[in-house]
Chain A
Amino acid sequence: GQQVMQIPQYQHVQEGEDFTTYCNSSTTLSNIQWYKQRPGGHPVFLIQLVKSGEVKKQKRLTFQFGEAKKNSSLHITATQTTDVGTYFCAGGSQGNLIFGKGTKLSVKP
């Protein structure tokens, strides 16, 4: 079946360091969505990418959608303690939305 693989599973960084999480699909996606879940919280929608090769920025966060629309990445520049949480990608395909397992980010002050 359709799968969305996300790596790494965990990432520990020092505050101020950069962070990247990667998402790979076994099939071509119609869109990719990113969500953030704070500890003890619920997933919150961050962004959606639709076009091949699309790049979008939200302050220190940069989101990319691959040319083949099978992979995506989220890059955070100069992490802060407020970035702590689990980041999920979700790939849209044929009316379904398949979530990755998420990357749990911890930031040491």
Chain B
Amino acid sequence: ETGVTQTPRHLVMGMTNKKSLKCEQHLGHNAMYWYKQSAKKPLELMFVYSLEERVENNSVPSRFSPECPNSSHLFLHLHTLQPEDSALYLCASSQEAVFREKLFFGSGTQLSVL
């Protein structure tokens, strides 16, 4: 069961491609997040949006570009990625960004960069 939908589930792209990941939450939450999950590493927070405004950007390379057109939708635009960017990208939402309580995660996009 999930109120957070992510597409695509799998993505293979070359280093020169441009692609976008999409996330939609149906929970009426005010905060949305992008996380990166790599093997043997903790979940890495990439971006935080609160009511469509970016409130946190954790030193993420500019080849990752987030977009939040409204409080229900979140995108991650990808361009000129590197093989080390291959990972599971998870979108999450919560009621508020301030407290970061009870995150609801989407199923993730498994990204492979060739």
Q: How far is the CB of B39 from chain A (nearest CB, A)?
A: 10
Q: What number of residue pairs across chains A and B have CB atoms under 8 A from each other? A: 44
Proximity bits, B85-113, A CB within 8 Å = 1, else 0: 00000100000001111111111100000
Q: Are B42 and A97 in contact (CB under 8 A)?
A: no
Q: Which of B40, B43, B101, B105 contacts A92 (CB 8 A)?
A: B101
CB-based nearest B residue for A47? B102
Q: Are A33 and B101 in contact (CB under 8 A)?
A: yes
B11 at the interface (CB under 8 A from A): no
A65 CA to B2 CA, complexed, in Å: 27
A31 CA to B105 CA, complexed, in Å: 19
List the B side residues contacting A22 at CB < 8 Å: none
List the A side residues contacting B105 at CB < 8 Å: 42-44
Q: Are A48 and B100 in contact (CB under 8 A)?
A: no
Q: Are A42 and B90 in contact (CB under 8 A)?
A: yes
A43 CA to B106 CA, complexed, in Å: 8
- B residues sitting closer than 8 Å to A (CB atoms) are 2, 40-43, 45, 90, 98-108
Those 4 A-B pairs whose CB atoms lie nearest each other, nearest first = A97-B100, A99-B43, A42-B105, A99-B42
